Chains A and B, each alone.
Chain A
């Protein structure tokens, strides 16, 4: 690390050469009480109002009082009217501060530079959650601002035990990564593991929280995520209180929670804001939807090409009548329709909203009536794909939905090769696969496998006792009763 030069011109020269004479960086030379001073800031990141009002005006006003000050650096650090003034002594920190929107004040003859927070607000304001919407419960969502995101969590948990460790990752981007947890509940080993792994990451830039999690996870070949990335601060707070660790990344709306279990991917924070008995109804429907979205096309293929005996004769006759005149094999028909739906879905996310309505008209026609009337697909296949896709959309986490797509394909292929036996084989493979996943040491299917009776109250069915009075003992290392006085930390 290069130490900061004592001459302001040397500093200026160094910055100019390092940034290739960047026109963004502004140098303003002043003379203040016989000291040569340089005010340096990055125009695009700083708030010009603050710089003008508090820094430049201060220098002008105070310049009239001709005092003899011995230590100008300490004087300025104490007297400049802003909330945070930090002296810096090396160029690495200087550049980081400069390109974070801070204003730097270099004084001739001192080997330190004062850094004053003058960041411009370049973030969108807090809005409602877009992708994890709920009816009840808080509506606010994380923004791209790191500080705002921290604030949104902190305002929900006002304890000194909510600890935050900060790291800077990314050779070029120098993105701030916050690791948040509640001391006294979380397992210290887990925090250490995550911190160690994150600090070892060696990449250019961090654009989203997914960069971090993909770099440190052991779950590389699996389609299912072993983390939740959420835009809901209430969910993060809830999980922190259960002893999880939240990873907050600068400039992204999504906060990552680890470790998690498979069943949590099918839960919503709203579950905890309603009567458990009503939530259980919803949860059972979600569970059924999971099976529907995984298996419906596969079962349809198996039943109509191998295992006709599995359904009543009347339905079989209906199916046969519907399929009359369709030229493709059932598998191809199913793949065709799935493909069409996936294309529509992807287009719908990428298309500018101004031309979105024409897409939906074409989509409805292609997927529905026209395809059937043209004899390309049978009407029953439209229903099958509709059930599959609607059930798939019930899951709010994109990572999960996209993982399920692969398994649906595997189920469809096995069904088309050996019918229901193929579905059973694929089902066994599916089970083996998800049982072998671990989320930072936590078995994916726990508390069902390995079985843990204490925590069953919040898996498929929610039990009021587990909601209000007990922490998840699989993740909370200490202090497992909610509302109990904190035990002394060791």
Chain B
């Protein structure tokens, strides 16, 4: 008998929860992307929210009726991010749901001055995951990026995310970085954060119209830009394309990328496609001075060759790989130079290596790192292998 009452009790306890947190799927607005700007005049956060449109198109007339936008954007301003988000309730019939946030876009103005005040909410909020990706609107407002529709992929937030992932993996100019990784880079000792950027090609007013994406050549498109660099919570500048690739090589982020380089003196070019790359940055202290030793081993395939030479010759291959290595080495050289001389910001993480391996040295020189860092000597040891030449042996030019 007792057992029966016990089961009944459990069932009753379950009922007392009163369907806590219960919400039907069509009562929530699923947010794909959020853009954060800062209104300097009124001193308010300017939040724009991209809500995925879950409305059923009337069946059978998908081509006839006017095309419906896949997303809707709401904007609101308030002193805090959460209040601004809640204000959207006034305009939207559904309650916002943050759990499937894919992209957080920082406006440039916000990233330069007010980032510090804007990171707390997303860390504290229970609903959002901390693994959404972040991106910076290069020389633009985040709200503009949020409004642009994308071709091929219906959900712009997902399209941006895919573009970043692809640009970071197959090209190397962006870095796929999530919110928690970004913050841990900012908080970490001896390294600074970088952020992928995004640019609007064309007019914003064209990009918000779903007619634009239904043409073969949309007037307005989103394009992934080169990396932006931070010092603490402040955006300090941008790397160029070569520097971004060099950065990603050093960080072991890059697996596949194409490198073009001249293969003779007559302005003819060849290209190699990288298959795998492994890099290791190690710092040693010599005479109370850190010295960086960078080892990179790359395996690549020759994918295009427009010079005239006999590729069946081992020596020629060796020469080509030397030239390719020189090209790649130049990119790495360039990014280190940029970090040491142009910005004096240690985003490559030399300081972190010292912090991890020579803590006593780091403790002693922590405060003067800004002076030590630009003068660190480094040596790049690049080992490039070209095991495959593709389906043909000689250059197509040779015939």
- Closest residue of chain A to B56 (Cβ to Cβ) is A324
Known: A324-B55, A330-B24. A316 touches B100 (CB 8 A): yes
> How many pairs of A and B residues are in contact by the CB < 8 Å rule?
75
Tell whether, in the assembled complex, residue A320 and residue B22 are in contact, meaning their CB atoms are under 8 Å apart: no
Tell whether, in the assembled complex, residue A419 and residue B21 are in contact, meaning their CB atoms are under 8 Å apart: yes
Residue A446 at the chain B interface, CB threshold 8 Å: no
Tell whether, in the assembled complex, residue B55 and residue A306 are in contact, meaning their CB atoms are under 8 Å apart: no
Tell whether, in the assembled complex, residue B14 and residue A425 are in contact, meaning their CB atoms are under 8 Å apart: yes
Tell whether, in the assembled complex, residue B25 and residue A308 are in contact, meaning their CB atoms are under 8 Å apart: yes
Residue A89 at the chain B interface, CB threshold 8 Å: no
Tell whether, in the assembled complex, residue B15 and residue A321 are in contact, meaning their CB atoms are under 8 Å apart: no
| Distance between Cα atoms of A152 and B201 in the complex (Å) | 82
CB distance from A131 to the nearest CB of B (A): 33
Known: A414-B14, A417-B17. A309 touches B100 (CB 8 A): yes
Tell whether, in the assembled complex, residue A308 and residue B56 are in contact, meaning their CB atoms are under 8 Å apart: no
Tell whether, in the assembled complex, residue B56 and residue A322 are in contact, meaning their CB atoms are under 8 Å apart: yes
Interface bits A400-417 vs B (CB < 8 Å: 1, else 0): 000000000000001011
Tell whether, in the assembled complex, residue B15 and residue A308 are in contact, meaning their CB atoms are under 8 Å apart: no
CB distance from A75 to the nearest CB of B (A): 68
From B10, B25, B100, A305 is in contact (CB under 8 Å) with: B25
- Closest residue of chain A to B22 (Cβ to Cβ) is A305
Residue A314 at the chain B interface, CB threshold 8 Å: yes
Known: A309-B99, A314-B158, A316-B30. A304 touches B56 (CB 8 A): no
| Distance between Cα atoms of A306 and B127 in the complex (Å) | 12
Query: Chain A contacts of B26 at CB under 8 A?
Result: 320, 323-326
Interface bits B10-46 vs A (CB < 8 Å: 1, else 0): 1000110101111111101010100000000000000
- Closest residue of chain B to A221 (Cβ to Cβ) is B4
| Distance between Cα atoms of A306 and B19 in the complex (Å) | 9
- Closest residue of chain B to A417 (Cβ to Cβ) is B14
CB distance from B62 to the nearest CB of A (A): 13
Residue B263 at the chain A interface, CB threshold 8 Å: no
Tell whether, in the assembled complex, residue A313 and residue B25 are in contact, meaning their CB atoms are under 8 Å apart: no
Known: A309-B129, A313-B32. A323 touches B24 (CB 8 A): yes
Tell whether, in the assembled complex, residue A418 and residue B129 are in contact, meaning their CB atoms are under 8 Å apart: no
Residue A422 at the chain B interface, CB threshold 8 Å: yes
Tell whether, in the assembled complex, residue B20 and residue A418 are in contact, meaning their CB atoms are under 8 Å apart: yes
Instruction: List A residues 273-314 near B (Cβ within 8 Å).
Output: 304-306, 308-309, 313-314
Interface bits B47-73 vs A (CB < 8 Å: 1, else 0): 000001011100100000000000000
Query: Chain A contacts of B30 at CB under 8 A?
Result: 308, 313, 316-317, 320
| Distance between Cα atoms of A415 and B99 in the complex (Å) | 20
From B22, B25, B59, A323 is in contact (CB under 8 Å) with: B25
| Distance between Cα atoms of A339 and B15 in the complex (Å) | 23
CB distance from B243 to the nearest CB of A (A): 33
Interface bits B302-336 vs A (CB < 8 Å: 1, else 0): 00000000000000000000000000000000000
- Closest residue of chain B to A380 (Cβ to Cβ) is B25
Tell whether, in the assembled complex, residue A317 and residue B54 are in contact, meaning their CB atoms are under 8 Å apart: yes
From B10, B56, B158, A321 is in contact (CB under 8 Å) with: B56
Residue A151 at the chain B interface, CB threshold 8 Å: no
Majority-rule SS of B interface residues: loop
Query: Chain B contacts of A320 at CB under 8 A?
Result: 25-26, 28, 30, 52, 54
Residue B102 at the chain A interface, CB threshold 8 Å: yes
Query: Chain A contacts of B24 at CB under 8 A?
Result: 304-305, 323, 329-330
- Closest residue of chain B to A329 (Cβ to Cβ) is B24
Residue A319 at the chain B interface, CB threshold 8 Å: yes
| Distance between Cα atoms of A326 and B26 in the complex (Å) | 9
| Distance between Cα atoms of A326 and B25 in the complex (Å) | 11
Interface size (A, Cβ < 8 Å)? 28
Interface size (B, Cβ < 8 Å)? 28
Majority-rule SS of A interface residues: helix
Instruction: List B residues 124-153 near A (Cβ within 8 Å).
Output: 129
| Distance between Cα atoms of A348 and B13 in the complex (Å) | 39
- Closest residue of chain B to A322 (Cβ to Cβ) is B56
Residue B173 at the chain A interface, CB threshold 8 Å: no
CB distance from B330 to the nearest CB of A (A): 41
Residue B354 at the chain A interface, CB threshold 8 Å: no
| Distance between Cα atoms of A429 and B10 in the complex (Å) | 10
| Distance between Cα atoms of A324 and B129 in the complex (Å) | 25
| Distance between Cα atoms of A419 and B15 in the complex (Å) | 12
Instruction: List B residues 56-104 near A (Cβ within 8 Å).
Output: 56, 59, 97, 99-100, 102
From A304, A309, A418, B25 is in contact (CB under 8 Å) with: A304
| Distance between Cα atoms of A313 and B33 in the complex (Å) | 12
Query: Chain B contacts of A322 at CB under 8 A?
Result: 56
| Distance between Cα atoms of A9 and B36 in the complex (Å) | 111
CB distance from B79 to the nearest CB of A (A): 28
CB distance from A426 to the nearest CB of B (A): 9
CB distance from B3 to the nearest CB of A (A): 10
Residue B155 at the chain A interface, CB threshold 8 Å: yes
Query: Chain A contacts of B102 at CB under 8 A?
Result: 313
Tell whether, in the assembled complex, residue A417 and residue B25 are in contact, meaning their CB atoms are under 8 Å apart: no
Query: Chain B contacts of A326 at CB under 8 A?
Result: 26
CB distance from B102 to the nearest CB of A (A): 6
Instruction: List A residues 322-373 near B (Cβ within 8 Å).
Output: 322-326, 329-330, 373
Query: Chain A contacts of B22 at CB under 8 A?
Result: 305-306
Query: Chain B contacts of A305 at CB under 8 A?
Result: 22-25
Tell whether, in the assembled complex, residue A308 and residue B100 are in contact, meaning their CB atoms are under 8 Å apart: yes
| Distance between Cα atoms of A305 and B20 in the complex (Å) | 10
Instruction: List B residues 154-213 near A (Cβ within 8 Å).
Output: 155, 158
Query: Chain B contacts of A317 at CB under 8 A?
Result: 30, 52, 54, 155
- Closest residue of chain A to B154 (Cβ to Cβ) is A317
Known: A313-B102, A313-B158, A321-B55. A308 touches B14 (CB 8 A): no
CB distance from B97 to the nearest CB of A (A): 6
Query: Chain B contacts of A429 at CB under 8 A?
Result: 7, 10
| Distance between Cα atoms of A460 and B380 in the complex (Å) | 57
Query: Chain B contacts of A414 at CB under 8 A?
Result: 14
By CB atoms of chain A within 10 A, which of B17, B25, B26, B102 has the most? B25
Tell whether, in the assembled complex, residue B14 and residue A306 are in contact, meaning their CB atoms are under 8 Å apart: no
CB distance from B353 to the nearest CB of A (A): 37
| Distance between Cα atoms of A196 and B188 in the complex (Å) | 77
Tell whether, in the assembled complex, residue B28 and residue A418 are in contact, meaning their CB atoms are under 8 Å apart: no
Interface bits A191-214 vs B (CB < 8 Å: 1, else 0): 000000000000000000000000
Tell whether, in the assembled complex, residue A422 and residue B14 are in contact, meaning their CB atoms are under 8 Å apart: yes
- Closest residue of chain A to B101 (Cβ to Cβ) is A313
CB distance from A423 to the nearest CB of B (A): 12
| Distance between Cα atoms of A304 and B21 in the complex (Å) | 12
| Distance between Cα atoms of A131 and B318 in the complex (Å) | 74
CB distance from A299 to the nearest CB of B (A): 14
Query: Chain A contacts of B17 at CB under 8 A?
Result: 417-418
Query: Chain B contacts of A425 at CB under 8 A?
Result: 10, 14
Tell whether, in the assembled complex, residue B100 and residue A313 are in contact, meaning their CB atoms are under 8 Å apart: yes
Tell whether, in the assembled complex, residue B14 and residue A418 are in contact, meaning their CB atoms are under 8 Å apart: yes
By CB atoms of chain B within 10 A, which of A305, A306, A325 has the most? A305
In addition to A313-B32, A314-B158, A417-B19, 5 A-B residue pairs with Cβ atoms within 8 Å of each other are A316-B100, A317-B52, A321-B54, A418-B14, A429-B7
Task: List, sorted by A's number, 23 A–B pairs whose CB atoms are closer than 8 Å.
Answer: A306-B22, A308-B30, A309-B99, A313-B32, A313-B100, A313-B102, A313-B155, A314-B155, A316-B100, A320-B30, A320-B52, A320-B54, A323-B25, A324-B26, A324-B56, A325-B26, A325-B56, A417-B17, A417-B19, A418-B14, A418-B17, A422-B14, A425-B10
List 6 tightest A-B contacts by C-beta distance, closest first. A320-B54, A313-B100, A309-B99, A324-B56, A304-B25, A321-B54
Q: Which residues of A contact B (CB under 8 A)?
A: 304-306, 308-309, 313-314, 316-317, 319-326, 329-330, 373, 414, 416-419, 422, 425, 429
